[in-house]
Structure 1
Amino acid sequence: MKALDDIRVIDLSHVLAAPFCTMMLADMGAEVIKIEPPSGDDSREFGPFFEPDEKGDEQSGYFVSLNRNKKSTSINLKTEEGKEILRKLIAGADVVVENFRPNTMKKLGFSYEEIKEIKSDIIYCSICGFGHDALPEYATKPAYDMVAQAYSGLMSITGPKGGPPCRVGTSVGDIVAGHQAAIGILSALWHREKTGEGQHVDISMVDGLVSILENAISRYTIKGEVPEPLGTAHPNIAPFQSFPTKDDYIITPIGNDGLWEKFCEAIGKEELVDHPKFKDNRLRCENLDELVSRLEEVMKTKTTEEWIEIFEESGLPYSPLNRIDDVVDDDNINYRNMIEEVEQPDLGKVEVTGSPFKLSKTPGEVETHAPKLGEHNEEVLTELLDYSQQEVEKLKENEVLNEPK
């Protein structure tokens, strides 16, 4: 049994934010039916590409990484027959997820208000840049992840001190929105369980990033200070950053005065423990430049591996600066099944990230490959909607359904 057994999701999403959401729901056991246009999800054309075996075509690693555990149907929603298929699927579903501009679904005839007429208790989740319920001039604005990172203020506090604005190294605007959409959907499902009522889950990428700005908002509202990028340093705790070593970097998050004392002992600078400029966290933050200068001199005297041995023995929090190859090969990350192999048609075994949901009874799992375009057309129509094989063939002839590819 899986946590979301018997939950059926109609996935009208593309590229990243909503596909990430529906992937998490699928990992937890939901039946996710991905509705793709005849051309497929845009991300099927995004690199990097897996090299195919002798009988297959190249496949997008981007798409594969976001669409495991799902079923793909390729339906032409510009046809009335295609729309009728979607209506029938919605009638038997629990959740609909989409991440188009707010007017797109309305033009197709599948806005929340219209879908409610098909299934009154549906959970309908929308993800877009600025939200469906937004000022008119914002609701229809196009928005990619970088727009959300810039508009939310996140880019203004990211990067080296005094440097240009920097994009976070992953598409965090999309991914945070995907996570928050999943939480919203699960909350709405639980509300429906108690009341029988469906609802619209309206997720904004910008909202999501504003909500995780942590203390940046309070630093401005309390102190009137406009936060700026600090590199790896923390604005309110010190030393809480990376330091260059003899050969690389090491991360030292020293989060309280007790750890400060242990840290000074570990690096052989006991005289700094009660130094009048550094003896408590507030003083260390006020005198951060001098503190960092002194510590950098010490940290550069040993290699990262030497510091790791010292900090490990001292019980201090630390981390080497792992690159992606280090992460993929890391013993504990692999023990936690965060890099998994899946058998992908025409490719053989490929590696994808695992599910982070480690529930003791119903954990998230990577069970099936990312589907080929239209791979489940016949299965979905014949098994879920009782179409005959003859009707399916007619839909293919009329270009309502794609042949799987």
Structure 2
Amino acid sequence: MSGPLSHLRVLDLTRVLAGPWCTQTLGDLGADVIKVERPDTGDDTRAWGPSWLTDGEGKPTTDSAYFSSCNRNKRSITVDISKPEGQALLRELAAKCDILVENYKLGDLKRYGLDYESLARVNPKLVYCSITAYGQDGPYAQRPGYDLLCQAEGGLMAINGHADVEDGGPGGGPVKVVIAVTDVLSGLNATIGILAAVEARHSTGRGQHIDIALLDSIVQFGANQIATYFITGKQPKRVGNAHVNLAPYQSFRTADGYMIVGAGNDGQWRKLCEAMGSPDMAFRPEYLEMKDRNAHRPQLVRDMEAILTKHPTQHWLDTFASLGIPHAPINTYDQVFAHPQVQHRALKMSIERPAAQGGGAVAMVASPIRMSDTPVTYRHAPPVKGSGTESILLEVLGKSAAEAQALRDRGVV
């Protein structure tokens, strides 16, 4: 058994990030993922360089590093979806698949007879997942949307960034999360919904349509902040790297950089003050309890940084290490992958592209899913565009070599 989902086949009609993130996760768990791409350009992100993957000779290819981040464990077939024959080919594939994932604009696939209602008639057991910016219904359903737009509309940017000047911070206004978190969350939500629908199919005998919206995902992501808003009616404020309910719990300057230091309760606070060589500070009236420290946060930060900036970060990491005081360095990615725990967990891995696809090792971040009995597997490097067309036509659809060649000759694949 090559994974817990090795009995499932996925038709992947997605591109960019949210959909491919979902289908890569399904592939990591063993599913046979057939990625459908345009014959000319393929997935949009293949061209999102620099940087570029290299072949077996170390020369740059036309595939970007971005593309590689979410397209392993897939086979690529190129299909011209604008041609009736291409549409018919995808209906044939849908009949052979358990799951279909797509992130086309609302209504686009209906024009080609590839919407859920049409394909459910071909394959009633098909689990069909649509990922869009705003969902399948509502006044914004027809609008295109992207991660940054949804971060803004969904409230995340309003609470992300340094505190405003009037609140004692440096200001700077709303800031996006640099990772396309809306896409990643939507991909994860899609995966959860798909697995639930597959489980439900054991009871019902039929598939269903899953509607995942980027806006829904990013609003739900803010639930712990929104809960306070629901109760108080007050908009949460930007607090930068601080915590709205805990103090201290944020980044602090040291003699040579920054680090994270926290104290989640009064006991930790007293340990922290002692470790910093200032045990009396723990018992100052303005810092005695969490509510006091929260009320006097700006002065607390100044007093702590006056101490922490006397020594470099490593001194404080060594000092706090055995005391149960929450702390961490702020690592760059070179430091992340030199981190002993990251190395132990083998979070950097690589997959070799087959020689027929040009060769070359593709470095990737490993899946964070650890399963004792049916672990994730890494079977396919991010594919060269169309490299699986032949095998999919012959093995999955049972086409003859002559039929496959005829499809190529007519520009269908």
Aligned counterpart, 1:50 = 53
**C-alpha contact 1:355 1:366 (8 A) present in aligned 2:** no
Q: Which residue of 1 aligns with 2:168?
A: none
- Structural mapping, 1:200-219, within 5 Å: 200-219=209-228
Aligned to 2:167: none
Q: Secondary structure at the match of 2:277?
A: coil
Q: Provide the residue aligned with 2:324 in structure 1.
A: 315
Query: Is the alpha carbon distance of 1:214 and 1:319 closer, same or farther for their aligned partners in structure 2, counting shifts above 3 Å?
Result: farther
Corresponding residue for residue 144 of structure 1: 146
RMSD: 1.5
Listed as ranges, the matches of 1:103-142 within 5 Å are: 103-133=107-137, 135=138, 137-142=139-144
Matched residue, 1:304: 313
1:363 maps onto 2:375 in alignment = yes
| Cα contact 2:125–2:207 (8 A) shared by 1 | yes
After superposition, the Cα gap between the structure-2 partners of 1:58 and 1:52, relative to the gap in structure 1 and judged at 3 Å, is farther
Who is 2:89 aligned against? Answer: 85
Once the two structures are overlaid, the 10-residue window that deviates more, 233-242 or 328-337, is 328-337
Deviation track 1:365-388 (CA, whole Å, cap 9, x = no partner) reads: 323211111111111111111100
* Equivalent AA in structure 1 for residue 150 of structure 2: A
- Match of 1:161? 163
How far apart, CA to CA, are the structure 1 residues paired with 2:52 and 2:237? 38
Alignment of 1:3-402 (within 5 A): 3-39=4-40, 40-47=42-49, 48-53=51-56, 57-133=61-137, 135=138, 137-162=139-164, 163-344=172-353, 345-401=357-413
Comparing 4-13 with 249-258, greater Cα deviation is found at 249-258
Counterpart contact for 1:149–1:173, Cα < 8 Å? yes
Residue-by-residue CA offset, 1:84-129 (whole Å, 9 max, x unaligned): 1111111111110011111211122211111111111211111111
What is the deviation of 1:14?
0.5
For 2:373 and 2:275, the matched residues in 1 are separated by: 42
What amino acid is aligned across from residue 382 of structure 2 in structure 1? A
Q: Supply the distance in 1 between the matched residues of 2:351 and 2:46 (Cα, whole angstroms).
A: 18
- Cα separation, 2, equivalents of 1:252 and 1:187: 39
- Quick one: distance in 2 between partners of 1:56 and 1:392? 30
Contact kept? 2:104, 2:131, Cα under 8 Å: yes
How far apart in 2 are the matches of 1:58 and 1:76? 20
- Partner of 1:26: helix, strand, or coil? helix
Q: Residue by residue, what CA displacement relative to the aligned partner does 1:137-170 show, whole Å, maximum 9, x if unpaired?
A: 3001111110111111101111112222111020
Which shows bigger deviation, 233-242 or 44-53? Answer: 44-53
Deviation at 1:269, TM superposition (A): 2.0
Equivalent-residue separation in structure 2 for 1:363 and 1:164 (angstroms) = 44
Identity %: 38
Residues 287, 42 of structure 1: alpha-carbon distance in 2 compared, 3 angstrom cutoff: same
TM-superposition CA deviations, 1:153-200 (whole Å, max 9, x none): 101111112222111020101001001110111111111112213111
Query: How far apart in 2 are the matches of 1:141 and 1:226?
Result: 27
TM (normalized to structure 1)?
0.95
Task: Report if aligned partners of 1:356, 1:364 keep a CA contact under 8 Å in 2.
Answer: no
Amino acid at match of 2:371: L
Q: Which has the larger displacement, 220-229 or 375-384? A: 220-229
Question: Unaligned 5+ residue runs, structure 1?
Answer: none
| Aligned mates of 2:262, 2:210 — CA distance in 1 | 37
Kindly state the Cα deviation for residue 353 of structure 1 after the two structures are TM-superposed.
Answer: 0.7
- Match of 1:59, SS? strand
Task: Give me the whole-angstrom Cα distance separating, in 1, the residues matched to 2:101 and 2:205.
Answer: 19
Maintained 8 Å contact 1:123/1:200: yes
TM-aligned CA deviation for residue 347 of structure 1: 4.8
SS in 1 for 2:322: helix
Aligned counterparts of 1:302 and 1:158: Cα–Cα separation in 2: 30
Answer yes or no: is the 8 Å Cα contact 1:70–1:370 preserved in 2: yes
| CA spacing shift, 1:159–1:44, aligned 2, 3 Å | same
Q: Is the 8 A contact 1:68 1:366 kept in 2?
A: yes
SS in 2 for 1:250: strand
Point out where structure 2 has 5 or more consecutive residues left out of the alignment.
165-171
The AA in structure 2 aligned to 1:192 is R
Shift, 1:224, TM fit: 2.4
Counterpart-to-counterpart distance in 1, 2:265 and 2:119: 53
Matches of 1:366 and 1:258, distance apart in 2:
45
In the TM superposition, residue 57 of structure 1 has moved relative to its aligned partner by: 3.5
Separation in 1 of the partners of 2:358 and 2:276?
Answer: 54
- Which amino acid is the alignment partner of residue 360 of structure 2? G
Listed one character per residue, the Cα deviations across residues 197-225 of structure 1 (whole Å, up to 9, x for unaligned) are 31111111111111111432122222222
Cα contact 1:52–1:59 (8 A) shared by 2: no
The runs of at least 4 consecutive aligned structure 1 residues that moved more than 3 Å come to: 51-58
Aligned residues: 399
More off after superposition, 100-109 vs 145-154: 100-109
Secondary structure at 1:58 match in 2: strand
> In the aligned structure 1, how far is the partner of 2:379 from the partner of 2:263?
40
Cα offsets for 1:251-310 (capped at 9, x unmatched): 113222221121111112211223222222122112211211211111111110000001
